[in-house]
């Protein structure tokens, strides 16, 4: 008996070797007549048909099929003859096997969204992975499942080439299938710098342009990924197809697409989103408004972005509160002064021009205070920014100014003197219009030349003994007296300047 087993094994080995050497079919027939089996394994579960496929020996494959070999037999790793031919792109062998009744799907459907990884994938996956388009199409035409699930997602989640995307979609692949990370094919395509072809393709097959990822990916939408990709054509296409540029779930407090454009320093993308209706004053309790983001550290093209945001209606004084403790985030001006170690005079001037309040107090005393964020304007090359802020200051805290250790001695003394003197006419005019802006909008063009204005009281400065005084400008009470002609004339001149700025 043992000798018979050895003889059988040697015959199987000889059959395999003969197929590998691609001997004439007559020699293979002789071996089969001598007792070699078409369905007996040679080694590690490999059958004679595996060797015939490996050698691309079409005639031997036909002979084995005629002799009744198991066309779906698998080796110890789970590979069938179709797996081998699909992996290597042997189109004629794939066609022969399919016409002979080979199964196209081998992994059982367990119902799991992300089934465990096995030693081999489906023939369709092998064909696509190795770029054998004709083989993949043959398999799909013979019923291969285009939505087969794997550990990392379905078939379409594992493909990035537009050619294979279209092939799968054509045969019924789900365009909104999620991969293991929770992303759809459209999100991944939009993220690619040159992904517009794939984006067009997926949209044409009904992909959701407003799909949102889960918490692992900060609830980003397709628009977020398009902005990260940096292709304005993709963003423009998504907008035209109904993609929303604003968050539907503001309570999630994650960065918006507009925030991502700012973080990337992408000026054209910022302009495109704003023109598409992005909310310039939307806010997150974590990072604040888009203006806060633009004023934060390490942002490229910062000055240009701040200018665009302000011109688009960004409110530099918008109050944003932390969701956890209810504390107010520091204002945009304070964010900029604290974050930029090399502050730009033009950026500060922009913020002031568009109404940023200058409160010379600590944030503990006033959430809008900037007193503790002046460390970057104490040097000689930047102290002119300090004096620019000083001219626009509208409220002071003498006690905390005297205790301040950030400013140099000259700046501290200047600030103390400024807090004890009346606010200049220019600053009063600025504060007046800031107050007006907080009320229903008034068209400056409707004001007549003969209109007269009421005067600000000047009882708002401190004394030497008033260290703890909270010195601030008058806010709500108007004087009953009409201003003197000279004051009225100066105020009108300032008004004319503001009108010119509005026109420009």
pLDDT range class, residue 489, cuts 50, 70, 90: low
CA distance 464 to 448: 43
Write the DSSP string, 281-334.
T--BTTTBSHHHHHHSTT-TTHHHHHHHHHHTT--TT---B-TTT-PBPPPHHH
What pLDDT does residue 298 have? Answer: 78
Q: Is the pLDDT of residue 121 over 80?
A: yes
How far apart are alpha carbons 206 and 174 in whole angstroms?
A: 9
Angle between helices 267-275 and 257-264 (to 10 degrees): 160
pLDDT at 6 over 70: no
> 245-342 domain in CATH 3.40.50.620?
no
Residue 442 CB-density burial (10 A; 0-12 exposed, 13-18 middle, 19+ buried): exposed
Tokens of 362: 């600590």
* Model confidence pLDDT, tens digit, residues 382-436: 989 999 999 889 889 888 988 988 888 999 898 998 888 877 777 777 777 766 7
C-alpha 68/C-alpha 235 separation (Å) is 58
Burial 138-173 (b: 16+ CB within 10 A, else e): bbbebebbbebbbeebbbbbbbeebebbbbbbebeb
Residue 447 has pLDDT above 60, yes or no: no
Q: Is 480 exposed, middle or buried (0-12, 13-18, 19+ CB in 10 A)?
A: exposed
Tens digit of pLDDT for each residue in 279-319? 999 988 888 999 999 998 778 899 999 999 999 999 999 99
At 405 the pLDDT is 87
d(CA 357, CA 430): 10
Q: Is 429 helix (H, G, I), strand (E, B) or coil?
A: helix
Domain boundary assignment for the chain: 175-244, 245-342
Q: What is the mean pLDDT of the chain?
A: 85
Which residues make beta-bridge pairs with 46?
Answer: 43
Q: Fold for 175-244, please state it.
A: 1.25.40
Residue 35's pLDDT is what?
92
Cβ atoms of 369 and 362 within 8 Å: the answer is yes
pLDDT of residue 141: 97
CA 271 from centroid of its chain's CA atoms: 17
- In this prediction, residue 451 has a pLDDT band, given cuts at 50, 70 and 90, of very low
- DSSP for residue 396: E
- Cβ-based neighbour number of residue 256 at 10 Å: 27
Q: Which of 106, 107, 36 is nearest to 69 (CA)?
A: 36
Q: Which DSSP letter does residue 68 get?
A: T
Rounded Cα–Cα distance for residues 15 and 28 (Å): 7
- The predicted structure's pLDDT at residue 493: 62
- Does the CA dihedral 270-276-282-286 come out positive or negative? negative
30-37: Cβ within 8 A, 24+ apart: 32/67, 35/7, 35/8, 35/11, 36/11, 36/12, 37/8, 37/11, 37/12
Report which of 459, 462, 451, 436 is spatially closest to residue 491, judged by C-alpha positions.
Answer: 451
How far does Cα 317 stand from its chain's mean position?
27
Q: Which of 165, 170, 155, 156 is nearest to 195 (CA)?
A: 165
Strands 393-397 and 358-360: parallel
Give residue 257's pLDDT band: very low, low, confident or very high (50, 70, 90): very high
Kindly tell me if the per-residue pLDDT of 366 is higher than 50: yes
* pLDDT(502) > 90: no
Same topology, domains 175-244 and 245-342? Answer is: yes
């Amino acid at each position: 008996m043992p000798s018979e087993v050895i003889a059988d094994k040697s015959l199987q080995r000889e059959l395999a070797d003969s197929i590998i050497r691609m001997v004439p079919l007559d020699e293979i027939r002789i071996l089969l007549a001598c007792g070699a089996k078409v369905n007996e394994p040679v080694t590690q579960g490999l059958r004679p048909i595996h060797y015939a496929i490996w050698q691309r020996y079409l005639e031997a494959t036909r002979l084995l099929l005629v002799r009744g070999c198991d066309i779906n037999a698998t080796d110890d790793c789970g590979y069938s003859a179709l797996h081998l031919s699909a992996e290597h792109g042997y189109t004629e062998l794939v066609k022969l096997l399919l016409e002979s009744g080979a199964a196209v799907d081998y992994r059982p459907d367990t119902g799991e969204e992300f089934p465990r990884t096995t030693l081999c994938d489906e023939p369709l996956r092998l064909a696509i992975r190795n770029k054998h388009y004709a083989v993949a199409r043959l398999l799909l035409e013979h019923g291969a499942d285009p939505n087969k699930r794997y550990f990392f997602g379905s078939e379409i989640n594992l493909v990035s080439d537009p050619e294979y995307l279209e092939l799968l979609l054509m045969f019924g692949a789900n365009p909104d299938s999620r991969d293991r990370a929770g992303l759809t094919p459209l999100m991944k395509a939009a993220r690619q710098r040159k992904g517009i072809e794939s984006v067009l393709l997926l949209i044409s097959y009904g992909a959701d342009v407003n799909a949102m990822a889960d918490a692992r990916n900060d609830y980003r939408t397709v628009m977020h990924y398009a902005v990260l990709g940096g292709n304005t054509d993709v963003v423009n296409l998504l907008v035209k197809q109904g993609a929303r540029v604003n968050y539907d779930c503001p309570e999630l407090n994650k960065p918006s697409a507009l925030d991502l454009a700012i973080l990337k320093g992408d000026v054209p993308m910022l302009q495109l989103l704003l023109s598409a209706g992005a909310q310039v004053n939307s806010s997150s309790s974590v990072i604040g408004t888009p203006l806060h983001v633009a004023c934060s550290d390490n942002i490229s093209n910062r000055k240009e972005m701040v200018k665009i945001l302000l011109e688009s209606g960004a409110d530099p004084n918008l109050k944003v509160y932390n969701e956890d403790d209810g504390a107010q985030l520091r204002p945009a001006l304070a964010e900029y002064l604290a974050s930029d170690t090399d502050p730009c005079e033009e950026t500060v001037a922009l913020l002031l021009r568009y109404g940023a309040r200058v409160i010379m107090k600590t944030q503990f005393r006033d959430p809008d205070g900037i007193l503790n964020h002046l460390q970057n304007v104490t040097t000689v090359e930047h102290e002119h920014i300090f004096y620019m802020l000083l001219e626009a200051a509208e409220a002071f805290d003498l006690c905390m100014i005297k205790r301040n250790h950030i400013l140099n001695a000259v700046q501290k003394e200047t600030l103390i003197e400024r807090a004890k003197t009346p606010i200049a006419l220019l600053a009063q005019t600025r504060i007046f219009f800031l107050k007006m802006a907080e009320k229903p909008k008034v068209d400056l063009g409707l004001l007549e030349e003969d209109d007269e204005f009421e005067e600000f009281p000047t009882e708002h400065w401190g004394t030497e003994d008033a260290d703890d005084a909270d010195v601030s400008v008058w806010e709500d009470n108007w004087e009953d007296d009409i201003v003197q002609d000279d004051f009225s004339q100066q105020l009108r001149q300032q008004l004319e300047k503001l009108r010119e700025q509005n026109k420009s």
